[in-house]
Amino acid sequence: MKQGFMQGKRGLIMGVANKNSIAWGIAQSCMDQGASLVFTYQNDHLKSRVIALCEQHNAAGILGCDVGSDEDLDRTFTQTVDILGGLDFVLHAIAFSDKNQLRGAYVDTTRDNFSLTMDVSCYSFTAVAKRAQSVMGAGGALLTLTYLGAERYIPNYNVMGVAKAALEASVRYLAADLGPQGIRVNALSAGTVMTRAARGIGGFEKLLRYNEINSAMGSNVLLDQVGNAGAYLLSDLSGGVTGEVHHVDCGYHAMGMPSVQRARENAQWFSTVDELDD
Ligand code: NAP
């Protein structure tokens, strides 16, 4: 029988909404490499769909968990350890903001939505890390998902970019806090992928096209490419890596200026675009 590099590893996967979810891509890769997984879904709205998807793939457990609730988080970690007999890794692939504020100007962000976005998209990872710390041993790994909008202005990404910047800073602080226990903490900065959450960002299809033209590889990243990189960061293969933001975006982040050929492609494409948030 094939022995994958995650054979015997027990993981908690938070953030599967459907088969297009980044969490699902990473989960599939972990399962292919032998990991046993418990999944969470946020609420009853997507419950039956997530349960059906996870059951088809022999999930060890499927639990409801709203990361805005400390009680839900406590219960989720207790139940996950009961089900799996321990915990080796956690994937946090969760973000939320009012989609009406993921278009237009960042300066129009409201106080309420700023707090909500920071709570669900940033603080929840720290809350997850706190629970993980109490049940994980040396060799444990935590991974969250971020985006280039944390580092640079991206039209319409707005308050989510600010939350992702705080999330990336959290990764460095958590890496230092949990490092002495042998627990690693990293972020994967994914390129643009069409998902349920991404559809909420104004003009996301245009962002996809612009990334495709301007990435080093001239393409958008595929879900299985993000999945494999995620599995690496959650496994012992990345045993010396912590506090890192790892870009998996076909090299889009590395580009400073387009070639003449790509600049012409950009010019041609921009001539067909009216607004970036439509
Ligand atoms: P997705 O499939 O829609 O996943 C987002 C997940 O977050 C959903 O399962 C959603 O549940 C969950 N969620 C939202 N609020 C929650 C809460 N309070 N408690 C528990 N779960 C909650 O979209 P995705 O693109 O894969 O997003 C996963 C992560 O990747 C996010 O952090 C996102 O910012 C990041 N990312 C995405 C891209 C991209 O291009 N797609 C690029 C870079 C980074 P519901 O659907 O039930 O709300």
- For 96-154, what is each residue's pLDDT tens digit? 999 999 999 999 999 999 999 999 999 999 999 999 999 999 999 999 999 999 999 99
The one catalytic residue in 106, 123, 153, 157 is: 157
Spatial CA neighbour of 221 closest among 229, 116, 98, 260: 229
* Cβ neighbours of 11 (radius 10 Å): 27
CB contact set of 251 (below 8 Å; sequence gap of 6+): 215, 216, 217
Among 45, 98, 102, 145, the mutation site with the greatest number of ligand 1 atoms within 8 A of its Cβ is 145
64 lines ligand 1 (CB under 6 A): no
Spatial CA neighbour of 160 closest among 112, 204, 201, 207: 201
Concerning whether 232 is annotated as a catalytic residue, the answer is no
Spatial CA neighbour of 214 closest among 150, 276, 258: 258
The one catalytic residue in 106, 123, 147, 252 is: 147
pLDDT digits (tens, 9 = 90+) for 42-90: 988 888 889 999 988 889 999 999 999 999 999 999 999 999 999 999 9
CB contact set of 273 (below 8 Å; sequence gap of 6+): 206
User: DSSP strand E in the chain: where?
Assistant: 10-14, 36-41, 61-64, 89-92, 141-146, 184-190, 245-248
Q: Tell me the C-alpha distance between 51 and 41, whole Å.
A: 8
Spatial CA neighbour of 89 closest among 27, 124, 58, 132: 132
- Taking the CA of residue 194 as reference, the ligand 1 atom at the shortest distance is 41
- Taking the CA of residue 67 as reference, the ligand 1 atom at the shortest distance is 19
In this predicted structure, what is the pLDDT of residue 155? 96
In this predicted structure, what is the pLDDT of residue 2? 64
- Taking the CA of residue 193 as reference, the ligand 1 atom at the shortest distance is 40
Angle at 151 between CA 147 and CA 157, to 5 degrees: 55
In this predicted structure, what is the pLDDT of residue 122? 98
Q: Tell me the C-alpha distance between 58 and 235, whole Å.
A: 20
pLDDT digits (tens, 9 = 90+) for 203-247: 999 999 999 999 999 999 999 999 999 999 999 999 999 999 999
Among 196, 207, 215, 221, the mutation site with the greatest number of ligand 1 atoms within 8 A of its Cβ is 196
- Taking the CA of residue 68 as reference, the ligand 1 atom at the shortest distance is 18
192 lines ligand 1 (CB under 6 A): yes
